Amino acid sequence: MIDLKDYPRLERLIRGPSDLGTAVNLMSDLYQDRRRLSKRLIIQHCLEACEIASWYTSDTVHLMVAIFHDVMEDLGLSFEDVKQISGKNGVRVAEMVTALTKRSDLKNREARDREYIDRLGKVIEESPWLGVIKIADQLSNLTDLHALPAEKRRAIASQTLNFYVPVALRLGMPRLANELKELSLPHVVQDLGRTLWKRT
């Protein structure tokens, strides 16, 4: 098993052989040393999202979804793949991971993002736990925002303020809503300041 000292809640939840422990080890093997633009290991993002989610749920399925949430996009895994690697709760995990995955058939990024946010809003209404997982994912994503190009950074920060912050508040997660704001606002304000400076 990989070193989980930076994820104490997750470490405590894994006691002996378990589907959650298997998922953590499997993800470590699948991602190996793959990194984000920020140079952070992708597996660290997955574990951090799971750690954040674990403050709100200890359900094994929810936490496995938090760990697996990006595997379809990052690794090209299919519904059947996720089902097979998820143990006895494979169908539920695969369904939830699918619900959190952007459509690969929409090649235009703006159209894909718009469809995703519209669908995500409906999905969260039906299954609030998916909202908890997605908020945890977004909070972890924001720590890597500095490594992205300015336009994308501004778009993600604005989307966070307009969509994810209200969702977090609606789900009764004010602390995470504030953290989302704190991590997003500097990027929006910074770019707004540059725009105003250019106009003067």
Per residue in 70-96, pLDDT (tens digit) is 999 999 999 999 999 999 999 999 999
Range of the domain at 45: 8-199
User: What distance in Å separates the CA atoms of residue 61 and residue 91, rounded to the nearest whole number?
Assistant: 10
Residue 45 included in any domain: yes
108 within domain boundaries: yes
CATH assignment at residue 108: 1.10.3210.10
97 vs 81: CA distance, rounded Å = 11
pLDDT score of 106: 83
- Measured CA to CA, the distance from residue 169 to residue 54 in angstroms comes to 18
pTM equals: 0.91
Judge whether 3 lies within some domain: no
In this structure, is residue 80 part of a structural domain? yes
Q: Is residue 2 part of a domain?
A: no
- Structural domain contains residue 114: yes
Mean per-residue pLDDT, 110-137: 95
The total domain count for the chain is: 1
pLDDT, one tens digit per residue, over 157-178 is 999 999 999 999 999 999 999 9
pLDDT of residue 196: 44
Query: Could you tell me the sign of the dihedral formed by the alpha carbons of 137, 138, 140, 145, in that order?
Result: positive
For residue 200, pLDDT beyond 50: no
C-alpha 162: how far from chain center: 17
